[in-house]
Chain A
Amino acid sequence: MLAHFPWLLPLSIGLHNLSNRLVRTLLTILGIILGVAVVLAVDITNQSTLASIHLTLDRAVGKAELLIIPRGEAETIAGELAEWVQDVSGVDVAAPDVHMRVFLANEDLSTEALWSASGFQLGRRFELHGIDPELDPQVRLYYLESGRMPTGSRYEVVTTKKHAQENKLSIGDDLVLATINGVERLEIVGLLQDEGVAAINSGEVGFTSLLVAQEILDLGDEIHEISVRVDPEIASQPSKLADLKKEIELRLGERARPVYPAARGDMVPRMLNAYQIGLSFFSVIAVFVGAFLIYNTFSMNIVERTREIGMYRAIGMSRAQVLWMVLLEASLLGLIGASLGAFVGVWLSRGLLVVMRGFLAEASQFILVSRESLSKSLGIGIAVTLLSALLPALHAANISPLEALRVQSRSTQRIRPAIWLAGILMLFSGYSGLYYLKWRSQFMVMAGSTSIFMLLFGAVMILPLMVFILERSSRWLPRIVYGNEGAIGSANVRRSVSRTTLTIACLMVSLVMIIGIGTVTYTFEEDIQHWVNSALGGDVFVASTDTLQNSFTNQLLSVPGIAAISPTRYLEVSMPASFAERSESKRDHLVYTAIDPVAFRKIGDMVFTTGKSNPEANWQALEAERAIFISTVVASEYQLEPGENLSLLTRRGLQDFQVVAVTSDFSNQGYVITGTYDNLERWFIESGVDRFTIATTATSSSQAVAEEIESRFGERNNLEIQTAETIKTSVTSLMDQAFQLFDVLTLVGVVIGTLGVINTLTMNVIERQREIGALRSIGMTKFQVVKMVLAESLAMGMMGCLYGLGFGYLISKTFVYALNVLSSYDVDYLFTPQPYLVSALIAMLVSQVAAVGPSWRAVRQNIIEAIKHE
């Protein structure tokens, strides 16, 4: 039959090859599996990371991206608007809300007694919300501890566990409200955990259905606000969100207006955007790594068979047949490997994510395997397999049978200059693509990712050039650790430059991942931490919902343990439309933060980003008429620099305020300018205090001071009192959670490195069976063979380490740079030695751990078998 179908011959030989060389076939398939799995796993991890970050932010600032509130003096908006907004395209959920502070009555007090005895002060103020039990959980986080949500028009309520415990209430009891219309009873049907909505009004909060609340509060069909949750696609893109807001604003006209939720602002979408970009870089690395692993194994497979292919050529196989044979094998392996890889990828990422169990509980709903990432990874698997088969196959088809059949294979291979020249070119274009070319904003992310890809690619391609230098600078280590066997082993890395290159590249890529992620994480963390520390400055913070008199400062000073007090007033100020045009979001209002510089500097300090060398001069300049500090966000949004003017609408007309310095201030999402109380009084005719920053004396605890203030003034002035410590702890824990999943990526990096080394060493050991047999036959002990393999691996580990650390440094700088360029979230690159030390350690450890299997393999084999045949 073969005689009639000559093209079948390569197929049958190909299949024969696969089954005959089972170990090699399995290793190759393993490589493809890993490649596909890595792409998929990182994609899934990325999605979960993003979901977790969303969740963390939602927890901190609420889920809704927009709020619809009444315009001007009005207190309510028409209830029908909720349904109406819901229909706007891009809006996922529009949840109506009414809320009101009410008083709670105890069962044993009659209403009359309550009203007559107390005036306003008897019960603690309780916040009652009327919500749609279906929609509201989609815009706010409800964590029901027990029971259920209220239904329909029944007089039912859920409240917090905290409130229930303090008032000895449980499910089935009634919550008794004192309203202007008399007493209302709502049956408690559910209790909330102390998270999400339960944090509103310090837990003094209850939720009933919209209809019931409207009836109790006598609102008719009116509501107070609508929380809007938009399409996630839009939510993570600040400019799209701004467009949607604009559109809703246009449609609503005079009836209501959309705003960014106070706590969320448009800083959150920008942060999400930055994260997404950061994660997409990791995806780029993953695609690179995946493609690379596959290329690695498959091309190795072909290179090893050079002799065999030469033999086929010698006995008359044509070039086309050789190509055909190799490609057939490749597609078969690609298909098998890629489909298995998809399974392994899902399994791997799930497994890794399960490690983060606490987090997973809520985020797990987001861990789905999207069709895109599945087809992407499968496509990459098969395409790269074919491609990486094609290149060596072409090469193999072109080699002379004589060369292939030499008894002794060449000890070293020549490096083709085309490769490293291309590598240098890639490095160069990747570099200039990032640092020099100005891309249009819609291409920026793609261009950035491509540039990073090119940098990685280039770094790998110039590796052959570096192998000798690297080997020379690394060889002392295996020699010291393993002696003479170490010298033999480390010399082995020069044997197959292409294979050594691939291993080092594997290690490098994994180190780059670790260092890149470590640095980005550290940079973010330090950035936030630094800001928190400087923004906090004091020890205790006292804020009030109503602006307090300036004289309240003196009252506070009477509390023992207080060393200094700095008052702050926040005032929303507007700028003329012409000025707002400068910003992409066309935002026309900022918060003017009035401070008393002397008091302020007693407690904390500003973080200046301009005039850092002489902060004293900045402070001096602020004392001038209409002088202000602006935040980095304002500086970049409105393209302002020190010395330039910012126009503001004041009570004395349009005025130019001179920027004297830029500060790193993220309060109010960074839309903040800082000036003196003097200027506040003169131009805005305002005074009062919204927030006090208090420094305690060295000997007193901030907790005690906070409690004392609460007991003296808390109730009466409706104060919210926090200590720096609790804020820091909560910020830190939020941050830790968000960054936790990056550790998973680090783990992926380690796995990649390990597998790369194992793969190469196993191949090396298989290929050198005869040689190892010969060494054993002339008296090398098993232990010495193990040492030799370990030394070879250590040499590669050391080389990968040197290269990886160097390139990791460059890439991590590039990451931060690209993040700054691509998102409007500014961070400074910060160097931290930790990921470098960890990487170095991992490289060495991985090289030794990964060598255990192959070296076991090397000593286990029978000497006679090894030396017997080719």
Chain B
Amino acid sequence: MDMSAPTLQTIQLVKQYQMGSLFVEALKGVDLSIQAGEFVAIMGPSGSGKSTLLHLMGGLDKPTSGEVILAGKPLSQLNDYELARIRRLKVGFVFQFYNLIPTLTAAENIALPLLIDGVPLRRYRERLDELLELVNLSDRAQHKPDQLSGGQQQRVAIARAFVNQPEIVLADEPTGNLDTRSGTAILELLQRSRAELGATIVIVTHDPRAASYAQRVIFLRDGKIAKTLGSEGGEVSLKNIMAEMEALEA
């Protein structure tokens, strides 16, 4: 793979929702490219299309027009089965509501993508231990989700997102449900994972503090990129982010 090529690229991404005779245009042509190893935050007012964009990037949904190129593959060309495979092998998802399987233990939840892939677990024992270590849950490996706190559950979800060494990890408000301390721990975890595991991370967030962990912050408004901090625009700092947010919401 050409190292200079972006890990993820969106080209004129448009997403329309039809509600009866009414069309809602959630994304109105988004061009975006994310390099390997980058940590990107997407911000914007509620309803600006953040989640929609994230879902399209992860191949959970298909755009109305435009293209998502993930690890060199245009997603629009893939069928349902191939999309599932891409999600399983190239993408890791983290959600606001953890979405763990309640019947499985923390360790089993982490290993779930491998399980789905049909990989015998014992081959991944080491990796599992490594991940449990990373998310600081080695002593909770055999706990079921309902025996874990929200922050712990989210850490399990993050470990699950990383288990397959994905090209990119997509997180939609991963701290939305957590208190500040747990939220900080999650963000530090994400950053550390990026450093240690060499992953690319995109998070959607409302929280300027969360966004400040990123190298680049992309602001959406009405389905379009309104501003970017980090690469071309200003520097990523809490102050700049808050100012931008205020400007957008005005």
Contact = CB atoms under 8 A, between A and B. Distances in A.
A491 B112 CA distance: 14
A491 B101 CA distance: 10
B99 A411 contact: no
A436 to B, nearest CB: 43
B58 A484 contact: no
Interface of A: 406-411, 483-485, 487-488, 491-492, 494-495, 770-771, 773-784, 862-864, 867-868, 870
5 contacts: A778-B93, A781-B81, A784-B84, A864-B61, A867-B97
Interface of B: 51, 55, 58, 60-61, 80-81, 84-89, 91-93, 95, 97-104, 112-113, 115-118, 144-146, 150, 153, 160-161, 164, 177
A784 B118 CA distance: 11
A785 to B, nearest CB: 9
Contact of B116 (A770, A773, A780, A782): A780
B87 A779 contact: yes
B102 A779 contact: no
Nearest to A411: B102
A408 B153 contact: yes
B116 A775 contact: yes
Given A483-B118, A773-B99, A779 B104 contact: no
Nearest to A771: B101
Contact of A863 (B60, B102, B115, B177): B60
Nearest to A774: B99
A475 to B, nearest CB: 12
A408 B93 contact: no
Nearest to B145: A408
Contacts of B164: 779
Nearest to B86: A779
Which 6 A-B residue pairings sit nearest by Cβ, starting from the closest? A779-B88, A774-B99, A411-B102, A779-B87, A781-B84, A491-B103
Contact of B103 (A411, A774, A862): A411
Given A408-B146, A485-B116, A777-B58, A783 B81 contact: yes
A398 B84 CA distance: 43
B116 A784 contact: yes
Contacts of B153: 408
B60 A864 contact: yes
A484 B87 contact: no
A783 B51 CA distance: 26
A408 B113 CA distance: 21
A349 B104 CA distance: 45
Contacts of A484: 115-116, 118
B112 A778 contact: yes
B80, B101, B115, B146: which has the most chain A beta carbons within 10 Å?
Answer: B101
A777 B87 contact: yes
A779 B81 contact: no
B103 A778 contact: no
Nearest to A783: B81
Nearest to A492: B103
A482 to B, nearest CB: 11
A582 to B, nearest CB: 66
Contacts of A407: 97, 150, 177
* Interface of A, helix, strand, loop or mixed by DSSP: helix
A402 to B, nearest CB: 14
Given A484-B118, A868-B51, 16 more contacts: A408-B98, A408-B100, A408-B102, A411-B102, A411-B146, A483-B118, A485-B116, A491-B103, A491-B104, A776-B60, A776-B84, A777-B60, A778-B88, A779-B116, A781-B81, A870-B97
A777 B97 contact: no
B145 A867 contact: no
A774 to B, nearest CB: 3
Contacts of B97: 407, 770, 867, 870
A410 B146 contact: yes
A485 B88 CA distance: 15
Nearest to A781: B84
Contacts of A491: 103-104
Contacts of B102: 408-411, 495, 771
Contacts of A495: 102-103
B160 A778 contact: yes
Nearest to A485: B116
Contacts of A492: 103
A771 B160 CA distance: 14
A773 B84 CA distance: 12
B115 A488 contact: yes
B84 A780 contact: yes
A318 B233 CA distance: 56
Contact of A771 (B99, B113, B118, B161): B99
Contacts of A783: 81
A779 B84 contact: yes
Contacts of A408: 98, 100, 102, 145-146, 153
A783 B84 CA distance: 10
Contacts of B87: 776-779
Nearest to B119: A484
B144 A411 contact: yes
Nearest to A788: B116
A485 B115 CA distance: 8
Contact of A779 (B100, B113, B144): B113
A777 B81 CA distance: 12
Contacts of A771: 99, 101-102
Nearest to B103: A491
Contacts of B115: 484, 487-488
B80, B84, B86: which has the most chain A beta carbons within 10 Å?
Answer: B84
